Chains A and B, each alone.
Chain A
Amino acid sequence: MTAPAAAHPVPHHYTSTGLDSRKVAIWAFIGSECMLFVSLISTYLIYKGRSRVGPFPHEAWVDPATGKHFHAILNIPVTSMSTFTLLMSSLFMVLALAAVQNKGRPHANTFGARLLASSKLWLWATAIAGTTFLGFQAFEFTSFVHEGLSIRTNLFGSSFFTLTGFHGAHVTAGVIWLLTLLSIDYKRGLGPKDALKVDIAALYWHFVDVVWIAIFTLVYLIR
């Protein structure tokens, strides 16, 4: 399927299936990432309820040695807001992709249509929403440490910080990726020819979102 290099000096990415190899690669990567996160979630679930000392996620605890009182450590209202933020970031990302795909096409000259057609706006919105999510996570981690839960405190702390920390690292990588796309957009403008680049970044971003959907339910909501 690959075109002769001499005739077409521009590099191609076709596979024998006729699909772009970059898109095949990102889906294969996402498949492997599924396994990574399921292994981390499995570890969390196996250790769940097996910590010998607190603080615990959903139950209060009094340290028998010091008499210190620990309340249930998970902050559901804050995490619900961060979950909502990440969900909305996925909306912003699909709108960014649609704006890139439709750039240059005629659209109605209304304020709403101009908003929808702005790839920069939606890429910024996605990056800001991702950064806000990371801010919520930083707040959560800091408050947990102040309340006496660190990665070394108990099995819950170890598995919780590892799981959510890995997810946070993925969100951070996603934000950096979005900022890179934004810099390209400011430099020369993203158009339909770049749709695949944005599509691949969007797939990664949505994957990070679906992982959080699972984490939010399994870690935060199920007692």
Chain B
Amino acid sequence: MEQHTTHSPPAADAAHDPTAHEEHHPQWSTYWKVALILALITVGEVWMYYVPSIVASRAFVPGLLTLSALKFAIVVAFYMHLKYDHKLFRVLFTGPLFIAACTLIALMFLFGHLAAKL
């Protein structure tokens, strides 16, 4: 059976030990609060979808994108605990995400609904 041992240098221990950062991890109550916030944001998104005046307004798409980005960030920061984790993990996630987002925007300008704005 594979065991976690602590034979690495002390500096590495804190990064390796799965429980080393535990004091910085959210508590159970935080997880429940985050879930409540995520549920409320989802309710808000669906509500926006069913209100014709909001759908017709120019704020509809930016509003939905903002709420979605907020949910995305909350899950990544608290549930994936990227907020509390090593910087390298942040780089490994945000780097490709940034490249992917730039690719998406470039493709939308080339072929998608933003193409007309060129």
Check A214 for interface membership: any CB of B closer than 8 A: yes
Check B113 for interface membership: any CB of A closer than 8 A: yes
Among candidates A3, A46, A193, A203, residue contacting B4 with C-beta atoms closer than 8 Å? A193
Among candidates B3, B4, B46, residue contacting A221 with C-beta atoms closer than 8 Å? B46
A18, B5: Cβ atoms closer than 8 Å: no
Chain B residues in 8 Å Cβ range of A1: 8-9, 12
Check A69 for interface membership: any CB of B closer than 8 A: no
Contact with B along A1-37 (1 / 0, CB 8 A): 1010001101110100111100110011011101101
Check A119 for interface membership: any CB of B closer than 8 A: no
Check A38 for interface membership: any CB of B closer than 8 A: yes
* Interface of B (DSSP majority class): helix
Provide the bound-state CA to CA distance between A17 and B68, in Å.
Answer: 34
Chain B residues in 8 Å Cβ range of A135: none
A10, B75: Cβ atoms closer than 8 Å: no
A38, B79: Cβ atoms closer than 8 Å: no
Check A51 for interface membership: any CB of B closer than 8 A: no
Check A177 for interface membership: any CB of B closer than 8 A: no
Nearest chain A CB to B15's CB is how many angstroms away?
5
Chain B residues in 8 Å Cβ range of A201: none
Provide the bound-state CA to CA distance between A90 and B31, in Å.
Answer: 10
Contact with B along A103-129 (1 / 0, CB 8 A): 000000000000010000000000000
B100, A38: Cβ atoms closer than 8 Å: yes
Check A75 for interface membership: any CB of B closer than 8 A: no
Q: Look across to chain A and name the residue whose beta carbon is closest to the beta carbon of B112.
A: A46
A101, B19: Cβ atoms closer than 8 Å: yes
Q: Look across to chain B and name the residue whose beta carbon is closest to the beta carbon of A211.
A: B72
Interface residues of A (CB under 8 A from B): 1, 3, 7-8, 10-12, 14, 17-20, 23-24, 27-28, 30-32, 34-35, 37-39, 41-42, 45-46, 48-49, 76, 80, 83-84, 87-88, 90-91, 93-95, 98, 101, 116, 188, 192-193, 195-196, 199, 202-203, 206-207, 209-210, 213-214, 216-218, 221-223
